[in-house]
Amino acid sequence: MVLVDKLRSTDCKPTKLMDLEQIKCQSCSISRLCLPVMLADAEIEHLDSIVKRRKPYQKDDVLFRFGEPLQSLYAVRSGCLKTYTLDADGIEQITGFYLPGEIIGLDAIANNTHQSFAKALDTSLVCALPYNKLDILAGQIPGLRSQLLKIMSSEIQDDKALFLLLNKKNAEQRLAAFVINLSRRYANRGLASDRFQLPMTQVDIANYLGMAVETISRLFKKLHKLDLLELKQKEINILNMQQLSHFAGTSCHV
Amino acid sequence: MVLVDKLRSTDCKPTKLMDLEQIKCQSCSISRLCLPVMLADAEIEHLDSIVKRRKPYQKDDVLFRFGEPLQSLYAVRSGCLKTYTLDADGIEQITGFYLPGEIIGLDAIANNTHQSFAKALDTSLVCALPYNKLDILAGQIPGLRSQLLKIMSSEIQDDKALFLLLNKKNAEQRLAAFVINLSRRYANRGLASDRFQLPMTQVDIANYLGMAVETISRLFKKLHKLDLLELKQKEINILNMQQLSHFAGTSCHV
DNA sequence: CGATAGCTTGAGTCTTATCAACGTATGTGG
DNA sequence: CCACATACGTTGATAAGACTCAAGCTATCG
């Protein structure tokens, strides 16, 4: 995560960036969140050999478009990306935000066709995983097959949770839950969970959560008034995580 | 599907039912929607050997509960089931409806723990697929591995589509889209797509779509007034599929 | 036949969207 | 380095869609 932090700071030298582009799975700081989990060294090396490390994508660069044949899944190494479709009027409909260690494009496997657009929100490094090669490798390495299935299952879990959030919670609960979800994901990556940069605009958050931007703005203000969080520019500062979680409507299942 | 229809009719003899319980993957009418897709005969036999065919579940019987360790995935053979969680107040939150050929429990793979309850809405036959055996078999049969990944990818696709539906569409579009979705799924199973039984109550539909029952009732009435569909008891009759689709807000992605 | 779950209908309320206008960053070219 | 253009965020007023509550109706099942 040190490497990731270096990358995210604006003063990193081009040489540093080149180094980062070359980092192998073996030494990647987020490998424990990614496909290599539970693989032996030799297996990781095998996986590493099919990974194509791309030059960094700049803000607004597009990784793939809706309808394109699936060539590769993409593992995020640093930065942040979003996926979206366009509705009948050509309006963007955001379907997901992706942080380091997360895999983009899993929904394309069913018909070998991308079901969305993917765009960088920030300067971002990704690893391209050619799907046909990955599939073959999954046949040879049980741990990889297993991890791939787990990652997909995890995405299904997250989707169901999001579904419940949107379906059952009101605007303020949605926003609170969204912030907490981001916070948890940062925490999993060893980054600060109570103070971080929002990688997306409020317009994007509103779009993703199915709300008006005005509502987002008002609710951030309300959460601030309640001393639950602070938002300065894009920096978010969670002041009372427990209360905020409670506010989000403690999603208990039992 | 003839078999499925027989089962659904109420006058089927116990002996018939016993026969159905024993049907193998090789002769299962919905195998082309299920895991056996693209498998060679010998491979299907292999798969068949790990499948446990359960006695029929009756209405309201529970397949598994939230928090239980994942033993098996379940392939629906006939009938209809729902999955749901309970919120903090113990209120049911429906997360999905499952028709023949669909697989229940994929979200449990990530942590080997079921993330929801599953309950029969109707007399239903299911095949239990012990996950550890299935996983091993997926390592031996490339086509099975591939199909499993595709089924999971498909579920992710469906979840994203549902997400967009709930997030961006108003009540009447949601309901219209829900009906069309059911209709398409019946069509895929070779059943009538313009005239079918709603397998769930309006209360369940309301719960699933995040709306009040009253709204569902009013909207069915409205759709009837517009001559788009008819609803008598639980039998739905789509009168104008094209208009209904249009009404649902033609979900275009380009 | 009565009890209960499921569905319908109407009236009133509330949350959140919409519209309009203004304020504040950000970044580009002169 | 400044001025302008543009994207992003804030605030207030108004309106609409959908919920809630209350009550009555209708299937269904024991």
User: Strand D: which positions are within 7 A of a protein CB?
Assistant: 7-13, 17-22, 27-28
Q: Please, which pLDDT band fits residue A5 given cuts at 50, 70 and 90?
A: very low
Whole-number percent of chain A with pLDDT over 90: 64
The mean pLDDT of chain A is: 87
Q: How far is the CA of A46 from the C1' of D21 (A)?
A: 64
Choice between A88 and A168, residue whose per-residue pLDDT is larger: A168
Q: Is A24 helix (H, G, I), strand (E, B) or coil?
A: coil
Three-class secondary structure assignment of chain B: CHHHHHHHCCCCCHHHHHHHHHCCHHHCCCHHHCCCCCCCHHHHHHHHHHCEECCCECCCCEEECCCCECCEEEEEEECCEEEEEECCCCCEEEEEEECCCCEECHHHCCCCECCCEEEECCCEEEEEEEHHHHHHHHHHCHHHHHHHHHHHHHHHHHHHHHHHHHHHCCHHHHHHHHHHHHHHHHHHCCCCCCEEECCCCHHHHHHHHCCCHHHHHHHHHHHHHCCCEEEECCEEEECCHHHHHHHCCCCCCC
Is the pLDDT score of A2 beyond 70? no
> Other CB atoms closer than 10 Å to residue A49's CB: what's the count?
11
By the CB < 8 Å criterion, does B237 face chain A?
no
pLDDT-derived band at A181 (thresholds 50, 70, 90) equals very high
Q: CB neighbours of A200 closer than 8 A, spacing ≥ 6?
A: A80, A82, A97, A121, A208
pLDDT in tens, B189-200: 888 889 999 999
Neighbours of B161 (CB within 10 A): 18
Residues 206-235 of chain B whose Cβ lies under 8 A from any Cβ of chain A: 208-210
User: Does B205 contact A at CB distance below 8 Å?
Assistant: no
Residue B229: closest CA among B185, B176, B170: B176
pLDDT tens-digit readout, A44-94: 988 998 998 888 898 899 999 999 999 999 999 999 999 999 988 888 999
Closest A-chain CA to B160? A95
Q: Does A40 touch chain B (CB under 8 A)?
A: no
Q: Which of A6-10, A112-116, A155-159, B142-146 has the lowest mean pLDDT?
A: A6-10
**CB–CB of B152 and A153 under 8 A?**
yes
pTM above 0.85, yes or no: yes
> Which chain B residues contact residue A151 at CB under 8 A?
110
* Residue A90: predicted pLDDT: 85
- Tell me how far apart the alpha carbons of residues A141 and A146 are, in angstroms, rounded to a whole number: 9
Sheet architecture: strand order including A103-104: A52-53, A125-130, A72-78, A103-104
Instruction: Count the Cβ atoms, other than its own, within 10 Å of residue B195.
Output: 15
A85 closest CB neighbour out of B149, B152, B164? B164
3-state helix, strand, coil in chain A (%, to 5): 45, 20, 35
Structural tokens at position B47:
């798969």
Q: Which residue of A has its CA nearest to B206?
A: A167
Is the minimum distance from the CB of B212 to strand C below 7 Å?
no
CB-CB neighbors (< 8 A) of A107 in chain B:
153, 156-157, 160
Query: From the CA of A4, how many Å to the nearest CA of chain B?
Result: 26
- Token duo for residue A103: 């895999």
Chain C nucleotides near the protein (CB, 7 A)? 5-11, 15-20, 25-26
Instruction: Specify the length of chain B in residues.
Output: 254
**B166 CB inside 7 Å of strand C:** no
CB contact under 8 A, A153 and B209: no
- Share the mean pLDDT of chain B: 88
Q: What is the pLDDT along chain B (254 residues), one digit of tens a residue?
A: 443 443 344 343 444 555 667 788 888 888 888 888 888 889 999 999 999 888 889 999 999 999 999 999 999 999 999 999 998 888 899 999 999 999 999 999 999 999 999 999 999 999 999 999 999 999 999 999 999 999 999 999 999 999 999 999 999 999 999 999 999 999 988 888 899 999 999 999 999 999 999 999 999 999 999 999 999 888 999 999 988 998 887 533 32
**pLDDT value of position A14:** 43
Q: Which tokens belong to A125? A: 């490094």
CA distances from B116 to A100, A162, B38, B85, B202 (A): 28, 14, 30, 5, 21
Segment A127-146 shows an average pLDDT of 93
Mutant choice from A98, A163, A175 vs B, greatest count of B C-beta within 10 A: A163
Looking at CA atoms only, how far is residue A18 from chain B in angstroms? 34
Comparing alpha-carbon positions, the chain A residue that sits nearest to B148 is A149
Q: Please give the pLDDT value at position A19.
A: 61
> Which tokens hold the place of A62?
């597009």
Nearest nt to A171, CA vs C1'?
C16
Which protein residue lies nearest to nucleotide D16, measured between its Cα and the C1' atom?
A: B170
pLDDT in tens, B226-238: 999 999 888 999 9
Question: For A84-101, how does the pLDDT look when each residue is reduced to its tens digit (9 = 90+)?
Answer: 999 888 889 999 999 999
Kind of pairing between the strands at A235-238 and A229-232: antiparallel
- Helix residue ranges, H only, A169-199: 171-188
**A72 compared with A189, residue with greater pLDDT:** A72
The residue of A33, A70, A86, A160 whose CB has the most chain B CBs within 10 angstroms, and thus the best one to mutate to test that interface, is A160
Q: Tell me, in Å, how far CA of B211 is from C1' of C13?
A: 17
Q: Which tokens is A117 given?
A: 């657009």
Nearest to B126 by CA among B34, B43, B21: B21
Position A15 pLDDT exceeds 60: no
Partner residue facing A159 (CB), from B109, B163, B209: B163
Q: Name residues whose C-beta falls within 8 Å of residue B73's C-beta, 6 or more positions apart in sequence.
A: B103, B104, B105, B106, B108, B128, B129, B131, B134
Instruction: Judge: B149–A93 Cβ closer than 8 Å, yes or no.
Output: no
A167: contact with B, CB 8 A cutoff: yes
Say if residues B137 and B47 touch (Cβ distance below 8 Å). yes
A153·B109 Cβ contact <8 A: yes
Residue A137 has a pLDDT of 92
